[in-house]
Amino acid sequence: MTSATERGFTLIELIVFIVVVSAGLAGILSVMNTTVQFSAEPMARKQAMVLAESILEEVVQKDYADTDLLDPTLVPKAEHVKDTSRATMDDVDDYHGTTESIFTDWPASLTGYKVNIGVVETQWSVITSPKVPVKKITVTVTGGGHTISLSGYRADY
């Protein structure tokens, strides 16, 4: 007769424990692997968004119309002449159809981004009466697997 109770785990209990813990760890590690794999993606999207915002802000701050056409001391021009250098771009129309090639002062980390700027003339007729001519500026930035498109308006005020 043995009255002493034995304590401990059986071999089967240990094997079941190891299998359950291994399955849990495999699940956790697979989730972590997916998270780490795409951890740079939000950064690329944010960078594209900030780039589009800064370009749109630069364009919207320019004059509505070409000031060279309005200055009587300059030789009169028959029509708008598009400036090709960023330093001489003085109105929003100068940016129409431009790409990232005009932005020569970008840091090296932004060289993978493509930019397209479009400017079209439209009118605000819902908000104001009479109709007010405005120019819609659309900046599209592509890079890092994302395409960000932002629009802004410039009115002649």
Question: What are 63-88's pLDDT values in tens digits?
Answer: 888 766 655 555 555 455 666 777 88
Q: Residue 133 — pLDDT band, cuts 50, 70, 90?
A: confident
Residue 102 three-state SS: helix
Q: Which of 67, 104, 72 is nearest to 83 (CA)?
A: 67
Q: Which two tokens stand for residue 28?
A: 């956790």
Structure tokens at 124: 């605000």
pLDDT in tens, 2-57: 556 778 888 999 999 999 999 999 999 998 888 777 666 778 888 889 999 999 99
DSSP symbol at 99:
B
Angle at 123 between CA 122 and CA 125, to 5 degrees: 150
